[in-house]
Structure 1
Amino acid sequence: MGEGKPIHLQMKEISIEFPGVKALHQVDFQMTTGTSHALIGANGAGKSTLMKVLSGAYGHYTGSIHIDGEPVQIRNPKDAKDLGIQIVYQEVDTALVPYLTVGENIMLDHTVNDMGKKQIISWKAIHQRSKEILDKMNVKVSSKKLVSELTLAEKQMVLIARAISKTCRFLILDEPTAPLSHAETEELFRIVRNLKLENVGVIFISHRLPELFEICDEITVMRDGEFVVRKSIEDMSQNQVVEYMLGRKLGDQFPTMDIVKGETIFETRGFSDGEKIHDIDMHVKKGEIVGIAGLVGAGKTELCKALFGIGNGHFGEVVLHGKKLRLKSPHAAVKEGIALVPEERRKEGIWVGESVATNLSAVNLKRFSRMNLFLNFRKEREAAHDIIQTLGIKTPGEQVKVQNLSGGNQQKVAIGKWLITDAEVYIFDEPTKGVDVGAKKDIFELILQLAQRGKCVIYASCEMSEMMGITDRMYVLYDGRIAKELQTSHTNEEEILFYSTGGNEA
Structure 2
Amino acid sequence: MPKALIELNHINKSFAGVHALKDVSLRIDYGEVHCLAGENGCGKSTLIKVMSGVHAPDHGEIRIDGELRSQLNPIEAINSGVQVIYQDFSIFPNLTVAENIALNGELAQRKKWINWSKMRQTAKQALDKVGVDLDLNAKVEHLSVADKQLIAISRALMHRAKLIVMDEPTTALTQKEVRALFRVIEGLKRDGISILFVSHKLEEVFELSERITIMRNGKNVISERTDQLNREKLVYYMTGRQIDESYYEVEKKTGTPLLRTDNLSLKGCFEHISLSIHPGEIVGLTGLLGSGRTELAESLFGLTPATGGLIYRDGQAVNIQSVQDAEGHGIAYVPEDRLTEGLFLEQSIERNMVVSVIDGQKDKWGMIDGKKVKSTVRSWIEKLGIVAHSPLSPVKTLSGGNQQRVVLARWLAANPKVLILNGPSVGVDIGSKEDIHQVIRDLARQGLGVLMISDDLPELRQNCNRVLVMKRGRIIGESEGKSFTQEVWSQLHDGHDEEAGLAENRGSTA
TM-score range, shorter chain: 0.7 to 0.9
Cα distance change on mapping 1:91 and 1:266 into 2, 3 Å: farther
Cα distance change on mapping 1:485 and 1:182 into 2, 3 Å: closer
How far the C-alpha of 1:271 sits from its partner, in A, is 2.7
1:236 is matched with which residue: 229, 243, 261? 229
How far the C-alpha of 1:203 sits from its partner, in A, is 0.8
Match of 1:39 in 2: 36
Match of 1:481 in 2: 474
2:58 is matched with which residue: 62, 74, 85? 62
Amino acid at match of 1:37: H
Please state if 1:105 is matched with 2:103: no
Verify the 8 A CA contact 1:471 1:488 in the aligned structure 2.
yes
- 1:207-238 CA-to-partner distances (Å, cap 9, x unmatched) read 22232223222211111332211122233233
Match of 2:414 in 1: 421
Larger Rg: 2
- Distance in 1 (CA, whole Å) between partners of 2:92 and 2:143 is 12
Secondary structure, in 3 states, of the residue corresponding to 1:7? strand
1:449 is matched with which residue: 442, 450, 454? 442
- 1:237-291 CA-to-partner distances (Å, cap 9, x unmatched) read 3322222112233343445567976622323333333233222222222332221
1:84 is matched with which residue: 59, 81, 84? 81
Please state if 1:142 is matched with 2:135: yes
Cα distance change on mapping 1:64 and 1:241 into 2, 3 Å: same
Verify the 8 A CA contact 1:254 1:444 in the aligned structure 2.
no
Amino acid at match of 1:62: D
Cα distance change on mapping 1:246 and 1:6 into 2, 3 Å: closer
Match of 2:401 in 1: 408
TM-score, scaled relative to structure 2 = 0.84
Match of 2:213 in 1: 220
How far the C-alpha of 1:428 sits from its partner, in A, is 1.1
- Distance in 2 (CA, whole Å) between partners of 1:499 and 1:279 is 18
How far the C-alpha of 1:43 sits from its partner, in A, is 3.4
User: For 1:110-259, what aligned pairs fall within 5 Å after superposition?
Assistant: 110=105, 113=108, 117-255=110-248
- Distance in 2 (CA, whole Å) between partners of 1:52 and 1:253 is 37
TM-score, scaled relative to structure 1 = 0.85
Match of 1:28 in 2: 25
Cα distance change on mapping 1:438 and 1:502 into 2, 3 Å: same
2:293 is matched with which residue: 300, 315, 323? 300
- Distance in 1 (CA, whole Å) between partners of 2:44 and 2:105 is 29
Secondary structure, in 3 states, of the residue corresponding to 2:31? coil
Secondary structure, in 3 states, of the residue corresponding to 1:14? strand
Amino acid at match of 2:318: K
Moved more, 424-433 or 362-371: 362-371
Match of 2:320 in 1: 326
- Distance in 1 (CA, whole Å) between partners of 2:252 and 2:295 is 29
Verify the 8 A CA contact 2:210 2:225 in the aligned structure 1.
yes
Q: Which has the higher contact order (CA 8 A, sep 6+)?
A: 1
How far the C-alpha of 1:72 sits from its partner, in A, is 4.0
Secondary structure, in 3 states, of the residue corresponding to 2:11? strand
- 1:153-190 CA-to-partner distances (Å, cap 9, x unmatched) read 22322222233232323211112123334443333223
- Distance in 1 (CA, whole Å) between partners of 2:394 and 2:79 is 32
Identity of aligned residues (%): 31
Please state if 1:9 is matched with 2:4: no
Moved more, 32-41 or 258-267: 258-267
Secondary structure, in 3 states, of the residue corresponding to 2:275? strand
Secondary structure, in 3 states, of the residue corresponding to 1:421? coil
- Distance in 2 (CA, whole Å) between partners of 1:336 and 1:142 is 47
User: For 1:422-437, what aligned pairs fall within 5 Å after superposition?
Assistant: 422-437=415-430
- Distance in 1 (CA, whole Å) between partners of 2:16 and 2:255 is 48
Match of 1:48 in 2: 45
Verify the 8 A CA contact 2:129 2:154 in the aligned structure 1.
no
Cα distance change on mapping 1:72 and 1:196 into 2, 3 Å: farther
Query: Unmatched 5+ residue regions in structure 1?
Result: none
Amino acid at match of 1:426: L
Amino acid at match of 1:32: D
Amino acid at match of 1:277: F
User: For 1:335-346, what aligned pairs fall within 5 Å after superposition?
Assistant: 335-346=328-339
Match of 1:283 in 2: 276
How many pairs does the alignment contain? 494
- 1:403-462 CA-to-partner distances (Å, cap 9, x unmatched) read 443333332233232222222321111212333333222222211222233222111123
2:261 is matched with which residue: 268, 272, 276? 268
Cα distance change on mapping 1:382 and 1:122 into 2, 3 Å: farther
Amino acid at match of 1:243: Y
2:382 is matched with which residue: 380, 389, 403? 389
Verify the 8 A CA contact 2:12 2:20 in the aligned structure 1.
no
- 1:17-45 CA-to-partner distances (Å, cap 9, x unmatched) read 479x7654443333233212111113332
Cα distance change on mapping 1:107 and 1:318 into 2, 3 Å: farther
